[in-house]
Structure 1
Amino acid sequence: MTASTAASPFADIRRLAADLPAPGVFVAPAEGGRLAEISAWLTAWTGRNPPSVNRPVIALYAGARQGVGPRGYARDRLEAVASGGATVCRLAGAQGAGLEAFDLAIDRPTPDARQKASMSEKECAATMAFGMEALAKQPDLLIPGVIAAEAHRDAAAIALALYGGEASDWTDAAEDVSAAVERARGEGDLSDPLEVLRQLGGRETAAVAGAILAARVQKIPVLLDGYAATAAAAVLHAIDPDLIAHAVAAHVGGPGHARLLEKLGKSPLLALEIEGEEGVGGASALTLVRLACEVR
């Protein structure tokens, strides 16, 4: 490791990613289909056989970007969650799941990624560390997701930077996404996944990446809620595929999301075809996970 790398704000993140506990021992079931597979995944990561989910937590990270989506979108959605009026609140209540929503400085939006990097290294690393706070509730299953206007744009930009292809492979907003990635390529080394994250991801994506990483360190299984959470997982996967060995895709939305899941080798539990994520896909998949606990 060079001195410059050691001094980087990302140094602690890299050290954490390099010092992981052994992965869960996953034994693919000979029969029983997808439910048996989910049951075996839970047993591998929780060590409980038969498996159980007693303290699931849905962690939603709210962020805002300059010039994207309706003004005040994230604030309105946060207030809906706080008042219990959001769909995810009812789904979480029906599942007995904890629900946490985090305000990531939504009154100070990140820059337009077509014009400037989303975050400095220091801010990105700090936001990843903040995302790890979701583990303070000691969940035995974590469902991280985002609250952000048009979150699929950032997800698509990250996917394009990591895997290439055409912007239209990843999103309908191809022109905006392509412009953001081209700007980032001119300013940073996009062969570094953390540079991709800080250049193109919003604070919400960085926080989800931190939460997924912390869950891996603590061997807590993760359900990925939607395209943005999958993009956060893709950043970690690009560092080391083992960083998301504990994660399963809750659902799949549009074509870009499906393509990214294929790149990660993740088969979604549900196909809900929803763009607005905000925990709904993850909470829905939790029903299936609970049923899988009854499979022996």
Structure 2
Amino acid sequence: MNAPAAASPFADIRRLAADLPAPGVFVPPADGGRLAEISTWLTAWTGRTPPSVNRPVVALYAGARQGVGPRGYARDRLETIAAGGATVSRMAGSQGAGLEAFDLAIDRPTPDARQKASMSEKECAATMAFGMEALAKQPDLLIPGVIAAEAHRDAAAIALALFGGEASDWAIGEVAADVAAAVERARAESDLSDPLEALRQLGGRETAAVAGAILAARVQKIPVLLDGYAAAAAAAVLHAVDPDLIAHAVAAHVGGAGHARLLAKLGKSPLVSLEIEDEEGVGGVSALALVRLACEVR
């Protein structure tokens, strides 16, 4: 008698994504402007009228990839954040936001995606599950982001895999060539029509962890502010599984052209336009200030 086939490591993720609470009823006012729209979004997902943000948490996931960026970049950034010396540390403090930074095996970088898949299915699913730990702090607003050198590379590769077009639509210069090579390699090895497969082939651990955090927040009906291109790419993976998985998420800000294009594909209009490429929570916390102001709109 043949042994039953082992379940895919992604099986639990798919089951979680298929068993969601009803989405918040989010009907933006016809003439209330963006602040009223934000207020309505918060009320829909938190159930509080008037809305309030009492326990915002910035969750940053640090990852490293072979051959990308300065050696030790993620470690240096983690230490700076822990010491309170990073911009996001000061901004989070000024906004009364909790700040959590997670080390995703940065001393064991993921492979060059041009040559090999970033993670096995088991590692990708486990990393998504780890990303869900950000919800242990019981935030009423989650701001997930990444700490990774040149995080836009992986974001652009995921966007290209999910939405097609040319690599130059999602990245510029030499990065576009690297993105094209990574996606070409992944397509030759795997079926990228499965969004979770695209994630494990092309995304770093930090992107997988953010996807897990966004999914966990959806299950718990906690509103999310997407910080940066990498967080948008993580959201895009979930959107490709089921658009309802990111119904609770709003884009905090927009950076470069690839980021803007991806947000348009997701139907997300950013709250602010800061034109910053580095991420690490800065755009998300900047938008948090606007969200707090929106809580005063009736």
TM-score class, shorter: over 0.9
Please report the TM-score for the alignment, with normalisation by the length of structure 2: 0.98
Partner of 1:232: 234
> Quick one: which of 192, 213, 218 aligns to 1:216?
218
> Where do 1:121-136 residues align within 5 Å?
121-136=121-136
Partner of 1:51: 51
Q: Residues of 2 paired with 1:28 and 1:255: CA distance?
A: 27
Per-residue CA deviation, residues 214-268 of structure 1 (Å, 9 max, x unaligned), is 0000000000000000000000000000000000000000000000000000000
Equivalent AA in structure 1 for residue 221 of structure 2: K
Q: Residues of 2 paired with 1:27 and 1:124: CA distance?
A: 35
> Where do 1:183-194 residues align within 5 Å?
183-194=185-196
> Where do 1:49-88 residues align within 5 Å?
49-88=49-88
> Quick one: which of 200, 204, 207 aligns to 2:206?
204
The SS at the match of 1:115 is coil
Q: Residues of 1 paired with 2:169 and 2:28: CA distance?
A: 32
> Quick one: which of 246, 263, 276 aligns to 2:278?
276
The SS at the match of 2:59 is strand
The SS at the match of 1:101 is strand
CA RMSD, 1 decimal: 0.7
The SS at the match of 1:57 is strand
Q: Residues of 2 paired with 1:31 and 1:98: CA distance?
A: 34
| Structure 2 alignment gaps of length 5 or more | none
Equivalent AA in structure 2 for residue 218 of structure 1: Q
User: Within the alignment, does 1:174 sit opposite 2:162 as a pair?
Assistant: no
Per-residue deviation at 1:197? Answer: 0.2
Partner of 1:37: 37
> Where do 1:8-19 residues align within 5 Å?
8-19=8-19
The SS at the match of 1:21 is coil
Per-residue deviation at 1:179? Answer: 0.2
Per-residue CA deviation, residues 197-226 of structure 1 (Å, 9 max, x unaligned), is 000000000000000000000000000000
Equivalent AA in structure 1 for residue 207 of structure 2: T
Q: Residues of 2 paired with 1:270 and 1:171: CA distance?
A: 21
Q: Residues of 2 paired with 1:144 and 1:24: CA distance?
A: 20
Per-residue deviation at 1:31? Answer: 1.9
Equivalent AA in structure 2 for residue 149 of structure 1: A
Equivalent AA in structure 2 for residue 271 of structure 1: S
Per-residue deviation at 1:28? Answer: 1.3
Q: Residues of 2 paired with 1:50 and 1:137: CA distance?
A: 23
Equivalent AA in structure 1 for residue 81 of structure 2: V
Please report the TM-score for the alignment, with normalisation by the length of structure 1: 0.98
User: Within the alignment, does 1:101 sit opposite 2:101 as a pair?
Assistant: yes
Equivalent AA in structure 2 for residue 284 of structure 1: S
The SS at the match of 2:276 is coil
Q: Residues of 1 paired with 2:49 and 2:84: CA distance?
A: 34
Partner of 2:288: 286
Partner of 1:21: 21
Per-residue deviation at 1:113? Answer: 0.2
| Structure 1 alignment gaps of length 5 or more | none
> Quick one: which of 242, 245, 270 aligns to 1:243?
245
Per-residue CA deviation, residues 70-109 of structure 1 (Å, 9 max, x unaligned), is 0000000000100000000000000000000000000000
Which moves more between the two structures, 248-257 or 28-37? 28-37
How many residues matched? 293
User: Within the alignment, does 1:295 sit opposite 2:297 as a pair?
Assistant: yes
Per-residue deviation at 1:30? Answer: 2.2
| 4+ runs deviating over 3 angstroms | none
